[in-house]
């Protein structure tokens, strides 16, 4: 039996995501105004109106993603992700031309900016999204003035707020152990999904059993009080959805307070809603909420509380990246740079060249205890560059931007890309300082005791795969090369092919997952010429030519037992037929399934 799906009306969808042009009357009044105070008030109104429109559309998108999940409209889920990720920039870019044309002096009019900022702060005081509106204001100013990038937090301004806690967004179910299926059934039924469950009672029983098994190491006792806290929000992405929270056991005489995270993964199959998996381990939640995947659309608008909850459930990942994984990229951008500066202030460490192979296209640097790696793209590649032609710095940056904007399929690090960033020169080790100024002439300049970066890429820190394989225990090394194959498959599912299939372009995370992190050599898989092992070789063939049979040689897996483990786990990757089949599926517009949590956590085989 097939469950009924209700497609969204295209006209309603277009209306919900339409961005109107800036208010022409307000712009005209701004341009014609002569009194500086009036101009300041109008400028603040113009910018706030643009932000309000952006924010309203961005908040409608999660509800549309929920409707798309309920209707099983997978193409729409992909479209909504693309719209949301570009929405902020679109709204900023709409304002820049009329402001530059109508008020060219605005770029240098510092007093007008200060007055207008005061007007804006007064207008947004008391609003939940005030910090976001203030960040929008500074984004516009940077776009107009080409000013340096610096983290701006409204919370440090005149209307400071206490740090967010997760409590206001949690619904709590008080129960006793063991966790009964009826309790889980009520939680699932209250998710508010407009779709039919295939077997709600059966799923509740399986999920309750999975939770009980996860609680076992905590020494539970029958009859012991328990609290199940679930975020008052749905999380939607691609073909899936999930409920997020935790299970808490009270402290007792012989045991302290104990808890486990909880993620209930849902699918909407042809025959109805199903619980696909239950995750109860923090590292496994990081698989699902990884910044290497498309962002979740969270239906609850309280982004600070959501980010705090995610950080409490996944403390190995920095707080700044928690904002990004629920679609608040600019707030994540602010939080990440704030964290990097705080790390330096706290540790007094200097930025030095990152461990591992020195890149031919990028220069990577970090602080020893930092959670992040920073990168610039060289003006020209080093002499060790593998390819005949270098597309140039801007082309490489476009590839990094492309990876940021697509579904990274759980196997490519997201990139936070800053423009015109100023960092004090004392943050840099002398050797790195010299290299940056020498190799990045078009990118890095020295200005009054600070380095100014035309662009700066920030990623989560990984251990380069060859370094990891050289020091890991045999079982961990084997798991890493198997994960490498999964990474390559997921990249292919996202229409990404790394023509430099070199193990040095991959890294291992703190939860032992493998990711691609260098993107100067990525190409659309659908544009690659895949050749069988026995096809004639031609030195002069145009384009990117790939022979899967040669893959292991390029990956630089030196240990014979690890090469064998890779072949045994992923024999299809060495066959041209696999790659050609993936190309055909992508050209047909199919949305591939990507496994974003361990298969062992699925409730059914």
pLDDT at residue 360, rounded to an integer: 86
pLDDT category at 209 given cuts 50, 70, 90 is very high
**Element containing residue 239 per DSSP (H, E):** none
Provide, rounded to the nearest whole percent, the portion of the chain with pLDDT above 90: 47
> 153: closest CA among 312, 308, 304, 366?
304
pLDDT category at 160 given cuts 50, 70, 90 is very low
Residue 292 marked in a binding site: no
3-state secondary structure (DSSP) of residue 273: strand
pLDDT at residue 162, rounded to an integer: 62
Judge whether residue 67 has pLDDT over 60: yes
Residue 355 marked in a binding site: yes
The DSSP symbol for 212 reads H
CA distance 377 to 375: 7
Residues 85 and 22: beta-carbon distance below 8 Å: no
What is the average pLDDT across 496-505?
87
pLDDT at residue 406, rounded to an integer: 65
The neighbouring-strand residues paired with 202 are none
The DSSP symbol for 120 reads H
The neighbouring-strand residues paired with 246 are 229, 261
Q: How are strands ordered across the β-sheet holding 514-516?
A: 463-464, 506-508, 514-516
**Element containing residue 185 per DSSP (H, E):** helix 181-189
Q: Mind telling me the catalytic residues?
A: 414
pLDDT in tens, 118-134: 999 999 998 999 989 99
pLDDT: which is higher, 257 or 172: 172
pLDDT category at 540 given cuts 50, 70, 90 is low
**Element containing residue 315 per DSSP (H, E):** none
Q: Per mean pLDDT, which range of 54-63, 190-199, 322-331 is the poorest?
A: 322-331
What is the average pLDDT across 373-385?
86
Judge whether residue 157 has pLDDT over 50: no
Range of 8-17, 402-411, 546-555 with top mean pLDDT = 546-555
CA–CA distance from 2 to each of 69, 154, 272, 273, 274 (Å)? 15, 50, 7, 11, 13
Judge whether residue 45 has pLDDT over 60: yes
3-state secondary structure (DSSP) of residue 590: coil
Judge whether residue 420 has pLDDT over 80: yes
pLDDT at residue 458, rounded to an integer: 93
Q: Count CB-CB contacts under 10 A for residue 549.
A: 15
Judge whether residue 147 has pLDDT over 70: no
* pTM greater than 0.85 (yes/no): no
CA distance 21 to 85: 19
CA distance 406 to 398: 12
3-state secondary structure (DSSP) of residue 270: coil
Residue 354 marked in a binding site: yes
CA distance 217 to 242: 25
Residues 340 and 423: beta-carbon distance below 8 Å: no
Residues 580 and 530: beta-carbon distance below 8 Å: yes
Q: Please list, in sequence order, all residues whose beta carbon lies within 8 angstroms of the beta carbon of residue 56, skipping any fewer than 6 positions away.
A: none
CA distance 1 to 323: 40
**Element containing residue 507 per DSSP (H, E):** strand 506-508
Judge whether residue 148 has pLDDT over 90: no
Q: Per mean pLDDT, which range of 150-159, 258-267, 428-437 is the poorest?
A: 150-159
600-605: long-range pairs with CB below 8 Å, 24+: 601/210, 601/277, 601/278, 601/279, 601/284, 602/276, 602/277, 603/203, 603/206, 603/207, 603/210, 603/275, 603/276, 603/277, 603/278, 604/206, 604/274, 604/276
3-state secondary structure (DSSP) of residue 379: coil
Structure tokens at 328: 């608040």
Phi, psi (deg, nearest 5) at residue 591: -95, 105
Residue 360 marked in a binding site: yes
CA distance 44 to 322: 30
Judge whether residue 274 has pLDDT over 60: yes
What is the average pLDDT across 325-351?
89
429-432: long-range pairs with CB below 8 Å, 24+: 429/350, 429/351, 429/352, 429/353, 431/352, 431/353, 432/350, 432/351, 432/352, 432/353, 432/365
At residue 381's C-alpha, the angle toward residues 378 and 385, to 5°, is 145
**SS percent in the chain: helix, strand, coil, step 5:** 50, 20, 35
pLDDT in tens, 451-471: 989 889 999 899 999 999 999
CA distance 279 to 261: 8
Q: Per mean pLDDT, which range of 85-89, 362-366, 433-437, 540-544 is the poorest?
A: 540-544
Average pLDDT taken over every residue of the chain: 87
Provide, rounded to the nearest whole percent, the portion of the chain with pLDDT above 70: 91
Judge whether residue 504 has pLDDT over 60: yes
What is the average pLDDT across 257-262?
94
Residues 278 and 262: beta-carbon distance below 8 Å: yes
Q: Please list, in sequence order, all residues whose beta carbon lies within 8 angstroms of the beta carbon of residue 571, skipping any fewer than 6 positions away.
A: none
pLDDT at residue 1, rounded to an integer: 42
What is the average pLDDT across 416-427?
89
> 64: closest CA among 297, 369, 411?
297
pLDDT: which is higher, 73 or 108: 73
pLDDT at residue 335, rounded to an integer: 82
pLDDT category at 155 given cuts 50, 70, 90 is very low
pLDDT: which is higher, 181 or 520: 181
Judge whether residue 158 has pLDDT over 50: no
CA distance 79 to 63: 14
CA dihedral 201, 203, 205, 206 (to 10 degrees): 160
CA distance 64 to 80: 8
What is the average pLDDT across 570-582?
94
At residue 112's C-alpha, the angle toward residues 108 and 117, to 5°, is 115
The neighbouring-strand residues paired with 262 are 245
pLDDT at residue 156, rounded to an integer: 43
Q: Please list, in sequence order, all residues whose beta carbon lies within 8 angstroms of the beta carbon of residue 193, skipping any fewer than 6 positions away.
A: 66, 69, 70, 234, 241, 266, 273
Judge whether residue 293 has pLDDT over 70: no
Residues 462 and 474: beta-carbon distance below 8 Å: no
pLDDT at residue 43, rounded to an integer: 93
Range list of β-strands (E), 208-310: 225-231, 235-237, 240-249, 258-269, 272-279, 297-298
pLDDT: which is higher, 476 or 151: 476
Phi, psi (deg, nearest 5) at residue 163: -55, 145
CA dihedral 542, 543, 544, 547 (to 10 degrees): -40
pLDDT: which is higher, 487 or 261: 261
């Amino acid at each position: 039996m097939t469950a009924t799906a209700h497609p969204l009306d295209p006209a309603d969808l277009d209306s919900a995501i339409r961005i109107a042009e800036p208010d022409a009357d307000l712009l005209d009044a701004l341009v014609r105004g002569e009194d500086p105070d009036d101009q300041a008030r109008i400028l603040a109104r113009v910018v706030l109106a643009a932000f309000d429109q952006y924010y309203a559309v961005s908040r409608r998108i999660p509800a549309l993603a929920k409707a798309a999940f309920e209707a099983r409209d997978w193409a729409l889920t992909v479209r909504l992700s693309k719209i949301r990720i570009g929405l902020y920039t679109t709204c900023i870019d709409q304002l820049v031309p009329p402001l530059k044309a109508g008020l060219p002096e605005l770029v240098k009019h510092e007093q007008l900016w200060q007055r207008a900022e005061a007007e804006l702060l007064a207008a947004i005081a008391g609003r939940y999204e005030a910090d976001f509106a203030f960040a929008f204001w500074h984004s516009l100013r940077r776009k107009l003035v080409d000013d340096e990038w610096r983290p701006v937090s409204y919370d440090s301004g005149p209307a400071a707020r206490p740090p967010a806690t997760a409590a206001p967004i949690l619904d709590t179910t008080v129960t006793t152990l063991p966790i009964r299926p009826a309790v889980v059934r009520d939680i699932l039924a209250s998710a508010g999904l407009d779709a039919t469950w295939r077997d709600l009672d059966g799923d509740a029983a399986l999920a309750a059993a999975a939770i009980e098994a996860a609680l076992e190491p905590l020494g539970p006792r029958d009859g012991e009080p328990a609290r199940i806290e679930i975020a008052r929000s749905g999380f939607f992405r691609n073909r899936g959805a999930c409920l997020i929270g935790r299970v808490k056991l009270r402290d007792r005489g012989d045991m302290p307070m104990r808890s486990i995270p909880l993620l209930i993964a849902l699918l909407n199959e042809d025959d109805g809603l199903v619980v696909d998996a239950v995750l109860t381990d923090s590292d496994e939640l990081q698989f699902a909420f990884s910044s290497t995947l498309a962002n979740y659309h969270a239906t609850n608008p309280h982004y600070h509380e959501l980010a705090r909850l995610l950080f409490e459930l996944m403390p190995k990942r920095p707080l700044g990246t928690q904002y990004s994984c629920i679609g608040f990229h600019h707030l994540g951008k602010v939080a990440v740079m704030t964290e990097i500066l705080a790390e330096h202030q706290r540790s007094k460490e200097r930025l030095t060249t990152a461990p591992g192979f020195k890149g031919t296209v990028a220069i990577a640097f970090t602080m020893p205890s930092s959670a992040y790696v920073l990168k610039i793209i060289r003006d020209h590649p080093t002499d060790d560059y593998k390819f005949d032609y270098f597309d140039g710095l801007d082309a490489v940056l476009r590839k990094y931007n492309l990876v940021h904007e697509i579904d990274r399929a759980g196997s490519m690090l997201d990139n936070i890309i800053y423009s015109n960033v100023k960092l004090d020169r004392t943050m840099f080790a002398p050797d790195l300082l010299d290299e940056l100024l020498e190799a990045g002439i078009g990118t890095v300049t020295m200005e009054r005791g600070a380095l100014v970066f035309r662009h700066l890429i920030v990623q989560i820190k990984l251990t380069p795969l060859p370094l990891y394989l050289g020091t890991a225990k045999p079982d961990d090394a084997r798991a890493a090369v198997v994960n490498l194959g999964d990474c390559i498959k997921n990249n292919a599912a996202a229409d990404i092919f790394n023509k430099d299939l070199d193990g040095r372009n991959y890294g291992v995370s703190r939860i032992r997952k493998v990711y691609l992190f260098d993107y100067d050599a990525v190409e659309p898989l659908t544009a690659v010429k895949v050749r069988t092992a026995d096809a004639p070789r031609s030195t002069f063939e145009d384009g990117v030519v790939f022979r899967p049979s040669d893959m292991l040689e390029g990956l630089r897996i030196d240990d014979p037992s690890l090469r064998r483990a890779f072949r045994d786990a992923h024999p299809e990757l060495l066959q041209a037929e696999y790659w050609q089949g993936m190309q055909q599926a992508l050209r047909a517009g199919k949305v591939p399934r990507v496994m974003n949590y361990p298969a062992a956590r699925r409730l059914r085989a």
